[in-house]
Structure 1
Amino acid sequence: MKHLTYADRSVLTGDEAADILVELSAILAETGHADSVTLNALGDDGDAIVAKFVLGTGTNLMSASTTSQLPEPENREAVAYMNEQIARLTIPAAAVPSDDEWHSAEPFEANL
């Protein structure tokens, strides 16, 4: 478990979700993009909560370790989403000709 501190509030969530949220936040800021991510977390009182984080340039987000023995909240879908966003922002897209370019090409004729 890790503490996620955002603005003036701190919540507990799983290690993987916290680490990927911080990584995505940094990539979004670096690339000039923004996004929002919803995580299942534990509030100050230990109750299960749903926390929505708005990420972008200027986001102040910190992840810190904890000794909590509580079970980690389920965030499989959020982690998958964040991994997809990180891949989309960091892996260059393949160059593919447009339909117009593809159909307007002259047919190839071999001179034998």
Structure 2
Amino acid sequence: MKHVTYGEKSLFMGDDAADVLLEYARVVADTGKADTVTLRSISPDGNTVEASLLLNVSTVLMTESTHSDVEPPDNSASVEDIRERIERPAAMPAEEAWDRPDYDATATL
């Protein structure tokens, strides 16, 4: 189980979910895009919740180990989905750069 801090919110989730979340946040930031993921977690009050997290270049995310004996919620399907998303950017061909016309903003009409 790992303690995940997202912004000012703290959640507990399984090691595999926390690790893949952190890795995917890095991939999303590297591409300069944004995406959302939903993972089952344990909130600070002890309830099992579904947390949806927006990941982008500005995401503040930290994971740390914990010695909790609590059984983490099952995220096996979500972890597999996120792993596929991690592989997707590497498999996609690079986009061609957009060749914009060079406009002279100081030119008079």
Q: Say whether the fold is shared (TM-score over 0.5).
A: yes
Could you say which residue in structure 2 is the equivalent of 1:51? Answer: 51
Letter in 2 for 1:55: L
**Secondary structure of the structure 2 residue equivalent to 1:37:** strand
What per-residue deviation string (whole Å, max 9, x for no partner) do you get for residues 24-64 of structure 1?
00010001121100000001011111111000110000111
Letter in 1 for 2:22: V
Could you say which residue in structure 1 is the equivalent of 2:105? Answer: none
What per-residue deviation string (whole Å, max 9, x for no partner) do you get for residues 4-42 of structure 1?
100101000000000000000001000112110000000
**Percent identical:** 40
Distance in structure 2 (CA, Å) of the matches to 1:3 and 1:91 = 31
Question: Which ranges in structure 1 are unaligned for 5 or more consecutive residues?
Answer: 94-112
Larger Rg: 1
Q: Stretches of 4+ moved more than 6 A in 1?
A: none
Kindly report which structure 2 residues correspond to 1:59-98, keeping only aligned pairs within 5 A, or say none. 59-93=59-93
Could you say which residue in structure 2 is the equivalent of 1:40? Answer: 40
Letter in 1 for 2:3: H
Distance in structure 2 (CA, Å) of the matches to 1:67 and 1:28 = 29
**Secondary structure of the structure 2 residue equivalent to 1:57:** coil
Distance in structure 2 (CA, Å) of the matches to 1:2 and 1:90 = 28
**Secondary structure of the structure 1 residue equivalent to 2:20:** helix
Say what the alpha-carbon RMSD is for the aligned residues. 1.0
Distance in structure 1 (CA, Å) of the matches to 2:65 and 2:91 = 29
Letter in 1 for 2:14: G
Deviation at 1:92, TM superposition (A): 4.7
